Amino acid sequence: MAVRRVLIIEDDPAIRAGIVDALQFHGYATEESEGGSGATELALGAAYDLLLLDLVLPGGDGLDILREVHRFLPTLPVIILSARGEEADRVQGLRVGADDYLVKPFSIKELMARIEAVLRRSPERPRPETTVPFRGGVADAASGKITFDDGSLCNLSTMETDLLRYLSMHAGRTVSREEILARVWRITAKGIETRTVDMHIARLREKLRDHSEEIVQTVRGKGYRFRAPSQAGEPA
């Protein structure tokens, strides 16, 4: 059975450490964040099985993260961890998209029971699609081949295939170069020249015949955004 991955976004280091220790003791893989500007990208940037989310975070509101997660990853289970225990707060969190709401302070025993219950009743997250349709053709991520509408073919390298699949999984969202390095190349972007991403994007566009950047768009100063065929009529 695959190891379940849990992301904990909690600004209190003592609480966060206690949760991480408990989860790892029970066989879960964990990733953690204290919140801040990169927390939303972290939540959206990898395949987690569960998100544990505090509401009061430095530099933002946990509900904003929840809204983005619910928008792009609607099947990702989320449990809110918060000192806000009023009925109105619990109702708001559940309405925004949380699967459960746990009020601080709580015991590790209760937390683990809530986690197990949510994971039991939550649908499995969808697997990445094997085929990636785009304006002018379709790419087969299994074989690394592109078939254009005119019947012609083109081969993608393994990295180009992984890059296209990742961008298509997050269609409509701007993906930073740093996120691409971390999630596609599986390397930490800190201190690494991100130009390698730009070069691979350029080669991918050439193979997609994306000369006007209508499929893989550049978002100046931020990164790249994949436009699915259903989004072709939307403004850039």
- Rounded to whole angstroms, the Cα distance separating 60 from 159 reads 35
Please state the rounded mean pLDDT for residues 171-184. 84
**Strand pairing partners for 132?**
139
Beta strands in the chain (DSSP E): 5-9, 29-33, 50-54, 56-57, 60-61, 78-82, 100-103, 131-134, 137-140, 145-148, 153-155, 216-219, 223-226
pLDDT of 234 strictly over 90: no
Q: What is the pLDDT of residues 63-80, one digit of tens each?
A: 989 988 887 777 789 999
The pTM of this model reads 0.57
Question: Any residues with CB less than 8 A from the CB of 175 and at least 6 apart, and which?
Answer: 45, 166, 167, 223, 224, 225, 226
| Average pLDDT taken over every residue of the chain | 86
CA atoms within 13 A on the CB side of 200: 21
**Taking the domain 131-231, which CATH number applies?**
1.10.10.10
What pLDDT was estimated at residue 231? 64
Tokens of 226: 């994949």
The reply to whether domains 5-121 and 131-231 share a CATH topology is no
Planar angle of CA 208, 236, 145, nearest 5 degrees? 15
Q: Three-class SS of residue 223?
A: strand
Asked whether the predicted pLDDT for residue 100 surpasses 90, the reply is yes
Please report, for the chain, the start and end positions of each structural domain, with discontinuous segments joined by +: 5-121, 131-231
| CATH class assigned to 5-121 | alpha beta
pLDDT at 123 over 70: no
Q: How far is CA 172 from CA 59, 92, 100, 142, 191, in A?
A: 24, 26, 28, 23, 28
Whether the per-residue pLDDT at 193 is higher than 60: the answer is yes
pLDDT digits (tens, 9 = 90+) for 152-172: 999 999 889 989 988 998 889
pLDDT band at 189 (very low <50, low <70, confident <90, very high): low
